[in-house]
Amino acid sequence: MGKPYSIDLRERVQAEVEGGGSRRAAARRYDVSASFAVKLADRVSRTGSAAAARQGRPPGGGKLAPHLTALLEWVAAEPDITMPELAAKLKAEQDVTVHPASLSRVLLKAGLSFKKNAAGLGSRARGRAPGA
C-alpha cells in the first residue's frame, strides 16, 4: 500500500483550487496526478479537511475476534500449548480453521508473550515487565 501525500502538499494543491485555479492545472503545477487533485477537492468539500483518510482494514475485525476469550482461557489453562495444538483445538471445539501464525499474531496483540526460562522451556505470560 502506498503512502499518502504530505499534508503540506495537499494544502497547497487545495489552496490553488480554492484560489480559482482548475484542479488539473493545480495537479500539473505540483506534479501530482489529476485524479489526486480531483479527489482531494472532493474530499475537502465533503469533510472540510485535506488530511489523508486512514488506510487499511479497520482494527478489531477478523475471524478470530469472536473466539479471543476462548483462546485466552485455553492458553491460561495450559500455558505451554503450541500454536499448532491451539489451532487443532479451535478446529475441534469451534470448527474454525486458522493458521498457527495467525493465532500467534492474535495472542501477541492481546498482550501475551512467549518467554523461555533458564531451563530452556517456554512459558506464556501476560505481557512483559518494562525493560525485560
Q: What is the pLDDT of residue 91?
A: 95
The CATH topology of domain 65-126 is Arc Repressor Mutant, subunit A (1.10.10)
Of the candidates 98, 25, 28, the residue with the CA atom closest to the CA atom of residue 68: 98
Q: Are 95 and 70 in contact (CB under 8 A)?
A: no
Give 35-55 pLDDT, tens digit per residue.
Answer: 999 999 999 999 999 999 888
Instruction: Name the phi and psi angles at 126, rounded to 5.
Output: -75, 110
| Boundaries of every domain in the chain | 7-47, 65-126
Q: Which cell goes with 53?
A: 483518510
Whether 15 shows a pLDDT value over 90: the answer reads yes
The answer to pTM > 0.85 is: no
Q: What is the pLDDT of residue 56?
A: 83
How wide is the angle at C-alpha 73 spanned by C-alphas 104 and 65, nearest 5°? Answer: 55
Give 89-124 pLDDT, tens digit per residue.
Answer: 999 999 999 999 999 999 998 888 876 666 655 555
